[in-house]
Amino acid sequence: MRSAAVLMLCAFAVTACRGGDGDAAGTAVAPPPARSTTADGADPQPGRVLVSFVRAAGRGDAKAMWGLLSPETQASFGQTLARFSAGNAHEFEEGVGTLAPAPKVILSRRLDPTWSVAAVAGDRTVEGELEYFTYAAALKSARGGLKLELGGIVASGHRPEPMTEIDERRPELAVNLAAGADIVEALLWLDGSRISARRGADERPFTATLSGRPRRPLAPGRHQVVVFAATRGTAEASAWTFVVKAIS
């Protein structure tokens, strides 16, 4: 799951600078555009852009990272490359940049004319310990290409808890979402396939709980979950992993 410090900073900074970025509850996201993708919207380009960002973070290239951020995300990070270089760039280098040696794309989808989602995963070493790390991002069509949109929606309460081992073969997959405007879209993937998910009935304004279960029992081993959520003006993605224990 992406660095908690970076996630919270991005989310609240963008939310604060955008204020009410949506004022029409329940407005549907536009359908996918006509393009050469597979039936489920698979498109390699979002994954390629995210890998480029990961590799830029790994080498500490603040200018390259900056160029891959959406204008709104740039504004939330101080509006200038100099401020980004002195602050958030280091957090990305120490966070998602640790995947730079061998990032594996686990999801890459074009969702509609504005939004895409991608996620990467791989092994990394933190304080001498090897761990499997996942990172997801929403991408926005801007300035002639796809740019990372980081913030505006906070994802928390991931279930199963990230990096845990569980006995259940058909676990509930769930996440809590909070934004500064109405959440108009929320999607869930397990191991690269869309999961039929529902939104909780006890939602408060600008919040939602998204949950679903796999149709079939999961095989023992590692599994990866990705969630995407959008308001009318911003979007966010989050990824995490858990392990199903082998039957003894």
On whether residue 122 sits in a domain, the answer given is yes
Using the predicted structure, report yes or no on whether residue 4 has a pLDDT greater than 70: no
Place of tokens 């990372």: 148
CA distance 30 to 28: 6
On whether residue 27 sits in a domain, the answer given is no
Q: Quote the pLDDT of residue 201.
A: 65
Give the residue numbers spanning the domain of 159.
4-17+39-244
Residue from 136, 135, 109, 237 nearest 185 by CA:
237
CA distance 237 to 172: 19
Using the predicted structure, report yes or no on whether residue 126 has a pLDDT greater than 90: no
Report field, pTM of the whole predicted structure over 0.85: no
On whether residue 227 sits in a domain, the answer given is yes
Q: Quote the pLDDT of residue 21.
A: 30
Given a contact cutoff of 8 angstroms between Cβ atoms, the answer to whether 126 and 96 are in contact is no
Given a contact cutoff of 8 angstroms between Cβ atoms, the answer to whether 208 and 195 are in contact is no
pLDDT tens for 151-209 read 789 999 999 999 999 999 999 999 999 999 999 999 999 999 999 999 886 667 789 89
pLDDT tens for 55-113 read 999 999 999 999 999 999 999 998 899 999 999 999 999 999 999 999 999 999 999 99
On whether residue 208 sits in a domain, the answer given is yes
Given a contact cutoff of 8 angstroms between Cβ atoms, the answer to whether 243 and 216 are in contact is no
Look up the CATH number of the domain holding residue 111: 2.60.40.1220
On whether residue 203 sits in a domain, the answer given is yes
Q: Quote the pLDDT of residue 129.
A: 86
- When divided into structural domains, the chain yields a total of 1
CA distance 101 to 123: 9
Show the tokens assigned to 190: 């397990």
On whether residue 23 sits in a domain, the answer given is no
What does the angle CA 165 – CA 126 – CA 92 come to, to the nearest 5 degrees? 105
On whether residue 187 sits in a domain, the answer given is yes
Considering only CA atoms, give the Rg of the chain: 17
